[in-house]
Amino acid sequence: MSIGKKVVITGVPGVGKTTVIDASMEALKAEGISYTSINFGTCMFEVACDQSIVNDRDEMRKLDQEVQKSLQKTAAQVIAKIQENIIIDTHCTVSTPGGYLPGLPSWVLQELKPDVIVLVETDEDQILKRRLSDTTRSRDMEGYAAIKDHQRYNRYMAASYSMFTGCTVKIIKNLDFLLENAVSEMVELLR
Ligand code: AP5
């Protein structure tokens, strides 16, 4: 049986999910509240590396759809075993060459059973700028309109995940130079 709070944090690549999570966990630590943060993409990547099918994490979204689903399922099963407060850093949808792949299809939600799904969002021009300045990743080159479409589509998908599980959906804005506002909202949610 699962114990502990399960918080799924999503947002388009480069919106600042990991930055907000790390700062929030630091703030909570000072209050004696602890969460384990799990990056879903890292869990999938470890499985994919064991199978020698990718060289870097940005190749995963280009894999055959069925292979991505199988990696997804295995990662969800691994994460579901954790019996404590956890933050799952992942994606509402993944932009693949074949279209948007649901990041939390029914078989993943059945394993994770989230209490809340957070959508981290910001203005599309800020996301574009953040992606362009990150040289450590092989980002897909998308324009302002495509990022806007992706953020909107993620809201639709979060609503459907909420219908399916009964979890709440929280939208947190992570605006340029206002990281502390996003962190304060996240900390409030995680307390
Ligand atoms: P993952 O590693 O999660 O990819 P990602 O979304 O690209 O993650 P990033 O860590 O790059 O972005 P971020 O939003 O966390 O931004 P960051 O904090 O770094 O996933 C990898 C792959 O795994 C996916 O492509 C997919 O294939 C697969 N995957 C994952 N989950 C899946 C699922 N459920 N199903 C199927 N596949 C899945 O910040 C970015 C930059 O912005 C930084 O430079 C930061 O300093 C800056 N920044 C952040 N906040 C601010 C601010 N307020 N002001 C100014 N700058 C800011």
Position 1 confidence tier, pLDDT thresholds 50, 70, 90: very low
Atom of ligand 1 minimally distant from the CA of 182: 53
Is residue 71 predicted with pLDDT exceeding 50?
yes
Map tokens 């944090």 to a residue. Answer: 9
Ligand 1 geometric centre to CA of 39 (Å): 10
Task: Give the total residue count for the chain.
Answer: 191
The pLDDT, as a whole number, for residue 140 is 82
Decide: 87 and 21 in contact? Cβ < 8 Å. Answer: yes
User: In the predicted model, is pLDDT for residue 27 greater than 50?
Assistant: yes
Residue nearest to atom 17 of ligand 1 (CA): 16
Q: Reduce the DSSP state of residue 87 to 3 states and report it.
A: strand
Where b means 16+ CB within 10 Å and e means fewer, 5-30 reads bbbbbbbbbbbbbeebbebbbebbee
Q: Which domains does the chain have, with CATH numbers?
A: 6-39+84-190 (3.40.50.300)
- pLDDT of 137: 83
Count of C-beta atoms within a 10 Å radius of residue 171: 14
> What is the pTM for the complete model shown?
0.94
Pocket lined around ligand 1, Cβ cut-off 6 Å? 11, 13-19, 39-41, 44, 57, 60-61, 68, 72, 89-91, 94, 103, 130, 134, 137, 174, 176-179
